[in-house]
Every structure is written in structure tokens, then in C-alpha cells.
Structure 1
Amino acid sequence: MMYRSTRGQAPLVDAGAALRAGVAPDGGLYMPQEQPHFTAGDFNDTPDMPGLAARLLAPFFADSAIEPALSSICADAFDFPCPRVPLATTDNGPDILELFHGPTGAFKDFGARFLFRAFAALGQSTDRPVTVMVATSGDTGGAVGCAAEGVAGTRAVILFPAGRISPFQEHQLCCWEPPVEAVRVSGDFDACQALVKAAFADPDLARRHNLTSANSISIGRFLPQMTYWARAALDVTAETGTPPGLIIPTGNLGNAFAAVLARACGVPIGPIVLATNANVTLSDWHASGQYEGRPSIATLANAMDVGTPSNFERLADLSPGQIEAVIRVNDDTIKARLRATFDQSGYIACPHTATALEAFHTLDADHRQARRWIIGATAHPAKFADTVEPVIGQPVALPPALEAVLGREARCQDMDAGLPELAGILAG
């Protein structure tokens, strides 16, 4: 499999080169040159997640240095549960796909673990490690830090916006041992993301530090995320005879694009609905057909506080009509849905999951009844205890993995949002 740039001005590369580069030389994002095609029957003998991941991802890593290690990478990256929990608030309530049972309590654990194990398979030199740089609006950085800890030949630099994430999230970003470095940036997530792109666009800086990305712009992040959507969709289709609809809370569009690509490759997925917060870029695009990035707005669902979603470039690269609806949910409605869900079912959702639950209830009743719907639950609610606990009126217990995080010492550096400042931090 070869990869092309969405902007069409860069040479074709294999998966290993696309993974190392992160972003194409022309500033575009890498896309597979062709889409493999599957049928549901192709996965009949892969009931577990690692086996399904290896089967689904095999064409995407064919003829690359990663291919021989793909099965072991998937076995390690998908070694925690991903349960589908029925929310029995109505006769045909949605299923909640809990993506937060990994070591940092967020769906980003799947892609981050895959990415760093793929880097290890590429045989990075400890004398000249690859510097994996990531901008995070909340959960990505914690997953990257955890995944990078102890991986030879890598260095992880995590940029996060000062004052824009929950206290637990900040601690989780800053508690990992070298070669992980956390950097608190004076600015919002888009400023952090712009810094990452500016660093990649500086040939000398990128070459000197062997830069690559761990954001969902990397093929090593969004490709493995296809797996859990595929597993849930295959199981629901087998149970009901109808491909399920997906409702995905989204900010930078990586998780949503993974579902779109899985469907394009033949996985039985029905309509895809995006749930967003007060950041209006995607809802305005869907309503008008015009895309216009803008500054991000801080919300309770802070991991979705993205004003210029990077993966929109990939979505626009496909044929139109991939997304059925984009439903925007404000902070007051997030709180109301958190409370209503808890009162009706006892289920405790994080603010991001609550946006998707609200989007489900916004759909026409007949549309909801026509198929099973799957809600993407992207983070453990305990990571947002300051928001969730006052709404539901009771404490949210930390799972053991997250409890262990609090026992670690946090450390980070502070910087203004400028490329010279970032270059100084990279130079050490």
C-alpha cells in the first residue's frame, strides 16, 4: 500500500515513511492510495479485537517494515476491553461503546499504543530518536505519554493549552517519565496545533529533531481506530440484520474519520452523525457546504474544543455525503443530558459522551427506531469529576489505572505560543 498527500504535491510513500513523516512535505495529510474492500464474512474467524485489527489493517501496512510485526502490535495495542453497554432508557435505547478502559481512560489509548509500537517496529535509533510531537486538547497527550514511556528510540513532546483542560487531565499529561516532556502553552488548542504544524513546516527543525506527529493527522493513530467501530458494527449487524448508526463526539475529526473510512472499506456501518460542542466549524460546514476554521471556544467537553479540525482535509478528500448530520450541543444541554441519563438509567457519562447522547435524542423518533445506534463513549467520567459530580450529586470512583496516575509526580515546562520558544524546548 502506498500513501498520497491530500494536496497532491508530494511523492507517494509506503506506510512506514508516512508514519515517520506524520505530515506530507506539501503540508497535506497522508491518505491510502486505494481503499481495500471487505465484506462482513471476511471477519467471521476474528471474534477478538486483536485478530480483527490485524485483518482489517493488513492491507494498509502491506509491503512496509511494519507488516511483519503487525499482529504483535495489534495484540499489544488492543489488550483491554471495549464493551458495548445497552442504555435501557427506552425500548430501543442506544448502545454505549465504552472506549475508555485503557491505561489512561480515553479512546486515544488504542491509537497511541499502536503508534508507538509501530515506531519500535521501524527500529528507531537511540542515538537519533524520533521526536513525536503532539498537540492535545485533553486526552491525546495522556495516552501518548503513557504509550511512549519506555519505548526505545522515541521522544514524546506534548503541547497542551494552559487553563483549558481539567485538573486531572493536566496531571495525567505531566506525570510520565522521560523520554516524555509536557509543555504548557500560553494559548488555546488551535495555537498548540499551529505550533506543531509550524515545526513540521520548518525543514531544518524537522530534520534536526527527526520530528513526527502523534495527533490523529498520523496514519498510525486513525487507522487502528477503525477497529473498534468495525467490531461493534459487525456484532450489531449480526444481531439485528441492519448496520448500526454511529453517533461520534468529535473535535479534530480523527475518530470520526476512522469510522468513515471503515465504512468506505465495506464495514457494515449505517449513517454517521457527529456531535460537537459550542465550536461551530463543523456544524456550519454541514449546514452550508462552506468550511471556515475559526478560534476555538472553551467548553465543558474540552477535548472537543477545536476550531480548525485537521482531519477535515481527509474528510473533504472523499466523496460528499459521508456525514448524515452534525449536531451542536452547548454546555447547559451537556449538563442536562448528564443528569437525565443518570436519573433514567444510572449511567454516568463524561461531558463528551453526553454530547453524543444528546445528539441521539435530537434525532427524529422514527429514525432512532429504524436501527440500533451506537454512542461513542470517549473518556471515563472520573477524568471530569469537577463537572460530572455536581451534576449527578454523587462522587465518581476512579478506576485503578487512573488512581495510579494520581500517585505519580507531575512536571512540565511553560512557554509562549511561538516557534522560537518551541525550538528552544526541542533543543533541550
Structure 2
Amino acid sequence: MKLYNLKNNSEKVNFETAVKLGLGQQQGLFFPVDLPIIPPSELSKILKMDFITRSTEILSKFISNEISKEVLHKHVKKAFSFAKPLKVDINKKISCFELFHGPTLAFKDFGARFMAQMILAFSKENESFTILTATSGDTGAAVAHAFYGMKNIRVIILYPKGKISTLQEQLFCTLGKNIKTISINGSFDDCQKLVKKAFDDKKLKELIGLNSANSINISRLLAQICYYFEAFSLLSEEQRKKLVIAVPCGNFGNLTAGLLAKSLGLPIKSFIACTNANDTVPRFLNNGKWDPQKTVSTISNAMDISRPNNWTRIKELFRRKKWNLKKLRFGSVSDDITKESIKELFQLNYVSEPHAAIAYRLLYDQLKKDEFGLFLGTAHPSKFKNTVEKILKKEISLPPELKKWNSLPLLSYNINPDFNKLKEFLLEK
């Protein structure tokens, strides 16, 4: 698999190098040179496969020249060794596709665990890495648990202090060992800037073997394509013909993966890019002006991102496929409407957290009479226990996965968004 740097097209690397580097020169994201297409006859066979076998087939379309299908299957099986996504019907026209049945109860488990397996597959004996990543909520836990205890890999996770849920914080800031966490006095965008600055420091990169596990890493992105095929496989023939998928968007990796699934040949009619008050993309799609504003804190904190990294990949995909960007549906939802949407879903016998509720709201509002809609459930509602309980005035019990970590002490460091302070930490700890 060959990939090119979106900021410097002359920089071309293979999949192994892209996985290990994370970012290219000038902080550029890697994008596939070739965009494979699955013909309809093969697609129908793939959709009948079990999740692991199908995922191996899909991923092999991109990387089979670097990893044999047999070896890839073993790594996919280890990466996705948890309960499959689940489709829950809300009404006759709308279903939720729950992606939060992994070890950290969030969709990020798919990408983080596959990336860990790819690092393992490509690692040479005694080769060491420092994984540096920023999280607005669920990425931190997924990455921490995916790499926890792995030999020669140190993970450092930055997150905005006081701007993720308590339970999200407990899941990845209590592990210790090779997992180091730093709360930053600022926003997620501040955290992301620090990560990018670290990648710009060539000497630092070489000294500590720097890599990133954000959705900027191509391995995470490819893994997420797989569950869109799983969603499609669970639908009736009639539903498949008119499918619209609403995606809660923060860094836009999840939507990028969905669009890559469509590029592969999955006949999804339309996507809805769903944001909260941090609506840089909806405003851009509405008026053509890229105007990121100061990040606003909301109850859907994983989407509190005003400069989404993966948007450049989406624009490139639309350009390459000659798709019309104006046909991408979009919308943003305020906290007040998010709360009302959580209540509305509860009246329909479904307990949702804020991110999925935003996707439900925009799907409900934009779905046409002849369409069928899926909205993505990206995290278990108990991860936002305090918020959901206040809205519904109902107690939510914690699943065992969260109870286990809830009473442990936090092991985080704290710094201002100062790159020199972060650099000291990276070199000394």
C-alpha cells in the first residue's frame, strides 16, 4: 500500500512507514495512492461473511502486499476480540448502530486495538516507540488499554483538564506502567497543537521514536471502515437501497472511514456530518468559508473540536472520486436541543448519551420519507453518567468495565499548553 502526504505529495511511503510515523512532513496526513473498489458480485459475498473474516478481506484490499491475509486475519482477530456492534431499532425508519461494546465502551476501541496490532506486526526486536496522542474523551482510554503493558512502547496521552467526563478520565488515567497521562490547562485543540509541534521536531522524533495514535494514524482509520460493512450486512435489502448514516463528528475520522467504505463500493446513499456548537465544518459547507472559532465546551465533549484534522482527507476523497461536496448533509446541535433529544429517545425506550443524541436529532430532522436511517452510538451512556442522570432524572448503573476503574486514584501530571514543558516530559520521564 502506497500513501502520499496531503501537504507534500512528493512524500510517498508504504503502510508500515505510515503506521510508524503517524504524520508526514509539515504535519501532513497520509492518504492512499490507490482507492480500491469491490465489485458488486464480490461485495455480496463479503457481506455474508462473519465480522472477522469480512474485516480481514476489507483491510487486505489496502495492505495485502505488506501483510499476508493469513497473518492479517490473526491480528484482526486479536484486535476485534470483543462483542460485535449491535443494531438497535428506535422506530421503523431509524436504528442506532452501537459501536461501544469493546473494552473501553467506545467506538475508538476498533481503531486503537488494530493500530496496536499493526505496531506489533511491524516492530523489530528491541525497537521502541513513544505513542503521543491527544484525546477529547474516548480516544485516550481506547489507546491506553490497547497498548497497556506492551513491551518497548510508552504511551503519553494529553487531554484538556476538566473538559472530559470523570468516568472517561478514570478509564485511562489510573493505569500507570507504560501509560502516562497529562492534563493540559486548555482545550483539546491546544492538546492537538502540542502533538503536532512534537512531530515537527525532527530530533525529538528520532530520539524517542515518536508516533501518534490519533485518528491521524492511517491504521486507525482503515480499521473503522470495517464496522460500516457490518452495519450494512445487518440491514434488509429494502433498507440497504435508501441508507442514510448520521455520524457524530469531532476530529472527523469516523466520517472519513464511512466515506472510504462508500468509496470501496458500499452503496450508502448519504451521510450526515453531525456536530455540536463547534460547527466549523457545517459553516464551511454552508458558506464555503473555513473559519475555525474558539472551541466551546459542551455536554458532548468528544466533539469539542474546532479544527478537525481529518477534514483534509475528506476533501481529498471528494476531489479524487469527483463527488460533489455540496451533497454531503450536515448540521449542528446546541446543548439544549441535545438534552431534549436524549429525553425524546428515552421516551422511545432508548437511553442515549449526548453524542449519539446529536446524530439522532439531525437524522430525524433530515430523513426523507423513502429513506432508512442509522445513527452511530459512539459511547456507552454510562460514560456520561452525571450528565445523562441530570437530564433524565434517572440513575444509570455502571457496567463492570467502568466500576473496575472508578475508585482508583488518578495518576495524571498537569502542565500549561507549553511545548517546552511537554518536550522536557517526553525526554526525561
Q: Give the structure-2-normalised TM-score.
A: 0.94
Per the TM alignment, residue 394 of structure 1 is displaced from its structure 2 partner at its CA by: 1.1
CA pair 52-40 structure 1, distance change in 2 beyond 3 A: farther
Name the residue aligned to 1:357: 360
Higher mean displacement: 253-262 or 281-290: 281-290
Query: Could you tell me which of 325, 333, 337 is aligned with 1:333?
Result: 337
The amino acid that maps onto 1:97 is: F
Q: Determine if contact 1:66/1:122 at 8 Å carries over to the other structure.
A: no
- Find the aligned partners of 1:198 and 1:220 in 2 and give their Cα distance: 21
Higher mean displacement: 74-83 or 377-386: 74-83
Q: Determine if contact 1:36/1:59 at 8 Å carries over to the other structure.
A: yes
- Find the aligned partners of 1:185 and 1:47 in 2 and give their Cα distance: 44
- Find the aligned partners of 1:321 and 1:384 in 2 and give their Cα distance: 36
- Find the aligned partners of 1:328 and 1:60 in 2 and give their Cα distance: 33
Name the residue aligned to 1:399: 399
CA RMSD of aligned residues (A): 1.7
SS of the residue corresponding to residue 327 of structure 1 reads strand
Name the residue aligned to 1:172: 171
Q: Determine if contact 2:96/2:376 at 8 Å carries over to the other structure.
A: yes
SS of the residue corresponding to residue 84 of structure 2 reads coil
Structure 1 residue runs of 5 or longer lacking an equivalent are none
CA pair 407-121 structure 1, distance change in 2 beyond 3 A: farther
Q: Determine if contact 2:130/2:210 at 8 Å carries over to the other structure.
A: yes
> 1:89-104, aligned counterparts within 5 Å?
92-104=92-104
Q: CA offsets per residue over residues 61-86 of structure 1, 9 Å max, x none?
A: 12225866311111122222211111
Q: Determine if contact 2:89/2:96 at 8 Å carries over to the other structure.
A: yes
> 1:159-238, aligned counterparts within 5 Å?
159-236=158-235, 238=237
The amino acid that maps onto 1:204 is: K
Query: Could you tell me which of 60, 68, 71 is aligned with 1:69?
Result: 71
Q: CA offsets per residue over residues 181-221 of structure 1, 9 Å max, x none?
A: 11111110000000000000110111111111100000011
Q: Does 1:118 align with 2:118?
A: yes
Per the TM alignment, residue 47 of structure 1 is displaced from its structure 2 partner at its CA by: 2.7
Q: Does 1:268 align with 2:267?
A: yes
Q: CA offsets per residue over residues 63-114 of structure 1, 9 Å max, x none?
A: 22586631111112222221111112xxx33110000010111000010000
The amino acid that maps onto 2:384 is: F
- Find the aligned partners of 2:40 and 2:84 in 1 and give their Cα distance: 22
Q: Taking every aligned residue pair, what percent have the same amino acid on both sides? A: 31
The amino acid that maps onto 1:354 is: A
Q: Determine if contact 2:52/2:77 at 8 Å carries over to the other structure.
A: yes
SS of the residue corresponding to residue 261 of structure 1 reads helix
Q: Determine if contact 2:56/2:69 at 8 Å carries over to the other structure.
A: no
Q: Determine if contact 1:236/1:244 at 8 Å carries over to the other structure.
A: no
The amino acid that maps onto 2:29 is: L
The amino acid that maps onto 1:340 is: E
Name the residue aligned to 2:30: 30
Query: Could you tell me which of 348, 352, 360 is aligned with 2:351?
Result: 348
Per the TM alignment, residue 125 of structure 1 is displaced from its structure 2 partner at its CA by: 4.4
Name the residue aligned to 1:410: 410
Per the TM alignment, residue 153 of structure 1 is displaced from its structure 2 partner at its CA by: 2.7
The amino acid that maps onto 2:189 is: D
Per the TM alignment, residue 122 of structure 1 is displaced from its structure 2 partner at its CA by: 0.9
SS of the residue corresponding to residue 206 of structure 2 reads helix
Q: Does 1:55 align with 2:53?
A: no
Higher mean displacement: 113-122 or 25-34: 25-34
Per the TM alignment, residue 290 of structure 1 is displaced from its structure 2 partner at its CA by: 2.3
SS of the residue corresponding to residue 25 of structure 2 reads coil
- Find the aligned partners of 1:95 and 1:197 in 2 and give their Cα distance: 37
Per the TM alignment, residue 360 of structure 1 is displaced from its structure 2 partner at its CA by: 1.5
Q: CA offsets per residue over residues 336-360 of structure 1, 9 Å max, x none?
A: 01011102x1100010001011102
- Find the aligned partners of 1:135 and 1:411 in 2 and give their Cα distance: 17
SS of the residue corresponding to residue 141 of structure 1 reads helix
CA pair 256-329 structure 1, distance change in 2 beyond 3 A: same
- Find the aligned partners of 1:420 and 1:66 in 2 and give their Cα distance: 42
Q: Determine if contact 1:100/1:377 at 8 Å carries over to the other structure.
A: yes
Q: Determine if contact 1:236/1:243 at 8 Å carries over to the other structure.
A: no
> 1:311-322, aligned counterparts within 5 Å?
311-318=310-317, 319=319, 320-322=323-325
SS of the residue corresponding to residue 60 of structure 2 reads helix
The amino acid that maps onto 1:35 is: L
The amino acid that maps onto 1:395 is: E
Q: Determine if contact 1:39/1:267 at 8 Å carries over to the other structure.
A: no
Per the TM alignment, residue 152 of structure 1 is displaced from its structure 2 partner at its CA by: 2.1
CA pair 40-405 structure 1, distance change in 2 beyond 3 A: farther
Name the residue aligned to 2:89: 86
Name the residue aligned to 2:135: 136
Name the residue aligned to 1:4: 4
- Find the aligned partners of 1:48 and 1:404 in 2 and give their Cα distance: 31
- Find the aligned partners of 1:167 and 1:219 in 2 and give their Cα distance: 29
Name the residue aligned to 1:251: 250
Per the TM alignment, residue 234 of structure 1 is displaced from its structure 2 partner at its CA by: 3.4
- Find the aligned partners of 1:361 and 1:284 in 2 and give their Cα distance: 20
Higher mean displacement: 231-240 or 389-398: 231-240
Per the TM alignment, residue 40 of structure 1 is displaced from its structure 2 partner at its CA by: 4.7
Q: Determine if contact 1:51/1:71 at 8 Å carries over to the other structure.
A: yes
CA pair 297-124 structure 1, distance change in 2 beyond 3 A: farther
Q: Determine if contact 2:20/2:211 at 8 Å carries over to the other structure.
A: yes
Per the TM alignment, residue 249 of structure 1 is displaced from its structure 2 partner at its CA by: 0.4
Per the TM alignment, residue 401 of structure 1 is displaced from its structure 2 partner at its CA by: 1.6
SS of the residue corresponding to residue 236 of structure 1 reads coil
Structure 2 residue runs of 5 or longer lacking an equivalent are none
- Find the aligned partners of 2:74 and 2:35 in 1 and give their Cα distance: 24
- Find the aligned partners of 1:417 and 1:306 in 2 and give their Cα distance: 16
Q: Determine if contact 1:356/1:376 at 8 Å carries over to the other structure.
A: yes
The amino acid that maps onto 1:396 is: I
Q: Give the structure-1-normalised TM-score.
A: 0.94
